[in-house]
Amino acid sequence: AFATVMAYSAVPTPLYVLYQRRDGFGSFTVTIVFAVYALGVIASLLLAGHLSDRFGRRRLLLPALALDALSAVVFLAWPSLPGLLLGRVLCGVATGLVTATAAAYLGDLWRAARPREPTARADVVATAANIGGMGSGPLLAGVLAEWVAGPLRTPFLVAIGLLLVALLGVALAPETVAPPRTAWHYRPQRIVVPREARGRFLAACCGGLACFASFSLFSSIGPSFLSGTLHHRSHALAGAVTCAIFLAGALAQILLARLAARRQVRLGLAFVPPGLALLTVALWLPSLALFVAGGLLAGAGVGVLFKGCLGTVNAIAPAGARAEALAGFYLAAYCGTALPTLGMGLALQLLPARVALLGFAVAMTALVGAVGRLLLREPARDAALSASR
């Protein structure tokens, strides 16, 4: 269900070019459509991302999956720009509900099934479902748009079917949280971490922001770079390249899952800057091969860095407020999806694509470097704790 929701959130990625050609809007409008999705996620995480700690994981996932299916119906029934905006907002709200809840749910299920084993595998499944899902969505939509009739309808019909299957699966899964019978008063999201761990939590949140900012570049305007600057107009190619970048991140997480968090951070620092540099050079030459190579390298680095940040949050979060801490982490990460994407879209209105990407690469390299310094300052015992959890 987690992977399906994340896949659907990225289904429009290779389709934006078709909407642009049909309706005549530019790259900045695409970034606005993408950013309103992120704003929906942020609002959802802030207002409801922590509620599964109180009401239960399954009780929050079921309406979220139904809301995601409703957003696909909006795309089908109202395919103009206002409908795209509304559909993306609904999708963002649903994604925000699912993200922190599903990650906490997977940890709960793992601990219930194997209480004596560390939860590292549950963390791997959660991050792989998150990033791998975001990669499979563009591939599915790109292939359908290229070779199946109704390129702006068929991907959403398939997504509705997959979401309904996921909804059925969650309905059959056991609940892991028993709602307490004490009185309760609603409050928005708050961050619950031990005082002595707030520095690590802040560093991990900044790392999540940098990771999602890099991935958002591929999701929002990557296909535009391929069709415009690189002159490759295949929708299947756009979906496949985006998928490969996200899957590189998921595969790196799986292969390096047993490494300590500090080593994961170091590898992320080693991969991300060169990958962003290759992407920039690819647009200046231009070169599709360099674009793909840079995307794969940066995607792998972002994936393993994100895994290290998520493991850090899981290690320091109080047992009774894990979804709350994860919601705070994903809240910061999705801020990275919205703000840098809007900034990149605005830069593309004022500057050539090559110059705009160069500025983005420099800014993200600086941010990733700062995050690495903060996380690597922590004592070795903290890294060992993160890995064991």
For residues 127-144, b (16+ Cβ closer than 10 Å) or e, as one string?
Answer: bbbbbbbbbbbbbbbbbb
Token pair of 339, please? Answer: 């703000």
Residues 145, 49: Cα–Cα separation, whole Å: 33
Question: In terms of C-beta distances under 8 Å and separation of at least 24 residues, what long-range contacts does 373-376 make, across chains too?
Answer: 374/199, 374/202, 374/203, 374/206, 375/200, 375/203, 375/204, 375/207, 375/261, 375/262, 375/265, 375/308, 375/309, 375/312, 376/262, 376/265, 376/266
Task: Give the residue carrying structure tokens 């972002």.
Answer: 302
Residues 271, 155: Cα–Cα separation, whole Å: 33
Helix (H, G, I), strand (E, B) or coil at 333: helix
Helix (H, G, I), strand (E, B) or coil at 375: helix
Q: How far is CA 280 from CA 146, 234, 295, 302, in A?
A: 27, 21, 10, 17
Helix (H, G, I), strand (E, B) or coil at 57: helix
* The pLDDT of residue 159: 96
Task: Give the residue carrying structure tokens 């490494």.
Answer: 259
Cβ atoms of residues 73 and 109 within 8 Å: no
Q: How far is CA 199 from CA 215, 285, 318, in A?
A: 25, 41, 15
Cβ atoms of residues 313 and 138 within 8 Å: no
Per-residue pLDDT of the chain (389 residues; tens, 9 = 90+): 999 999 999 999 888 888 988 888 877 888 888 889 988 988 988 888 778 888 899 999 999 999 999 999 999 999 899 999 999 999 999 998 998 799 889 988 988 888 877 767 787 788 778 888 888 999 999 999 889 889 999 999 999 999 999 999 999 999 998 877 777 788 887 766 767 778 888 888 988 998 888 887 777 667 777 877 777 888 888 888 888 888 898 889 888 878 877 788 889 889 999 999 998 898 888 888 998 999 999 999 998 998 888 877 877 777 767 767 777 787 888 888 877 778 887 888 888 888 888 898 898 889 888 888 887 775 544 444 444 44
Residues 317, 197: Cα–Cα separation, whole Å: 9
- DSSP string for residues in 298-319: HHHHHHHHHHHHHHHHHHHS-G
289's CB contacts (< 8 A; 6+ apart) are 282
Burial of 267 (0-12, 13-18, 19+ CB in 10 A): buried
* The pLDDT of residue 220: 67
Token pair of 318, please? Answer: 């109080």
Cβ atoms of residues 49 and 100 within 8 Å: yes
| Residue 372 identity | G
Residues 54, 255: Cα–Cα separation, whole Å: 34
215's CB contacts (< 8 A; 6+ apart) are 131, 134, 245, 246, 249, 299, 302, 337
Which runs of E-coded beta strand occur in 95-223? none
pTM for the whole structure: 0.82
* The pLDDT of residue 346: 84
CA nearest neighbour of 109 among 176, 157, 54: 176
Helix (H, G, I), strand (E, B) or coil at 149: coil
350's CB contacts (< 8 A; 6+ apart) are none
| Residue 148 identity | V
